[in-house]
Structure 1
Amino acid sequence: MASLQSKIFVGDQDLARVLDGSLRLAAKGTPPSPAPVLSSGPAVTKVQQALIALGYPMPKYGADGGFGGETGSAVAAFKRDWHLSPADPVVGPGTMGALDREMVAYERSSPTPGPVNPVKPDGPTPSGTSKTSHLSDQFFTDLKALCAEMNCSPVDLLGVMNSESGVKPWAQHPTSKATGLIQFMPDRLKEYQFAGGPDEFKKLSAVAQLPYVRRYYWGYRKYLTSAGRMYQATFLPATLAGTDEDAAICGKAGPYAWAYTANPGLDTNKDGVITARDLSDRIGSLQRGPYWDELMQRLARA
């Protein structure tokens, strides 16, 4: 018989019953079939903490031990991302097993999983000898842990962030409102149930944005083999499957001509198409100078 393995879930008898199908977690009023429903208590709190740690925020109520609409939305989003059917606001055996597996992976690189709380907002880079003092030591530690979990290079991810935002969590495109370390589009933040939209998201620190970065890339992690492929996942993720470093992601005459027209500077060799190799070259062109050198020094010390 399967048993719970993650530190946050192991030993909880209610969650063990959810895993074996004799109990479900859901909101009050959910029909008690095919198993009875638990709507509050420590088991619900642990599931809420796990979901928040995995990048499914609950900004209004957090891990309060009550299975309400906010928790239900987070559960349904998790089930959609992990292709669990039906993607409803109910934690049953399949969802419990998937959560447990994800938390085992999370705990392997993050010893104390728990809710992700916004910390003091980052402000402009202060003057002085440090060019990266808007980033905490914890950011570099967490970045390394995240990349170890996804089996990708922290230098590559930092390179993508540098290209997208200058590794500044408050960065925001004035027209599209793409915001944050990897320039999350407003629709993506809505999908993640982030309350307040882009203007609130840019108030989060770099550390507080990392769980959202994790959630964005997690489904693409098998493709993150180079800086260019990671940038491809950020730029046009629909093109990842069936392509390699030299395949056309978009081009002046297609495919995705609109994406090429909006980003001609990414065609670094000016051949009319953008490839993952072009994207790697774009990132590489920015990986120099005192600011990048300091980022690398701090990453090495983390």
Structure 2
Amino acid sequence: MKNMDKYDYCLLDSATTHSIFNNKIYFSSVTLCKAQVKTIAGSAEIIDGSGNATIVLPNGTTLHIENALISGRSNKNLLSFKDVRRNGYHLETLVENTVECLCVTSYVMDKRIVHEKFEATASGLYCVQIRAFESYATMPWKLVNPDIHGLWHDRLGHPGTTMMRRIAQHTKGHPLKDTKILMSNEYFCESCSQGKLIIKPSIEKVGYESPSFLQRIHGDICGPIHPASGPFRYFMVLVDASCRWSHVCLLSTRNVAFARLLAQIIKLRAHFPDYPIKKLLMSIVQHWE
């Protein structure tokens, strides 16, 4: 069956912002998207995607429509006046034998040419017969996923741009060759950016000070831990500012932190009597569940 010879009906509407078709044969490609349309009964998700469509009117007038919508659950097709005007045609109404008609016209050398003529129905709407463009009706339909490049980039283990282009050019069975993103550097991968991020060391706030051993100790209490390590849900970390000495102890509650801290200070003073502790900076980092 030749789809190009099959006619379908379409309503011409001056109030709609986008043309909506319920058959994929009018599209060269469709980008998947979900959109809500407000109706009298409320909002409904009836839009399956969008893309460039081409339709042919009964007398052979071809209309190319950008960003047309596709809805497989729609009962009728809808053609916007705006899309007709964008193709360089005018829409004029006239009355012939007490019958109101809508004409698709154009002007060449100040001469008015009528390309199509549609009679109004009993409801006052204009119903038009349309058919698919010949090249679209015979070509295989392509469904484009806007994030297909990111999907394969993730599956292949986040290769670089050069490696991604080589893989796409020398493998079969995927639609990556048809994506324009391989020829540009517009793709952004958050995971790759975080993995290649280089953080410079922060500037020392106290550059002139060189504390000796145990002159300044920093401490943090973190928790609660989830899942808990037995009866312990918190831990305390003590780090000396002058060397790599550190101490970690587990806490059942934060109420025992002071006793553990005091016991550790007594041990340090007993083991290193020549290095008194002058400063102790404590901070509490709490993660709420």
Coarse TM-score class (shorter-chain normalised): under 0.3
- Relative to its length, the structure with more strand (as a share) is 2
TM-score using structure 2 length? 0.25
- Relative to its length, the structure with more helix (as a share) is 1
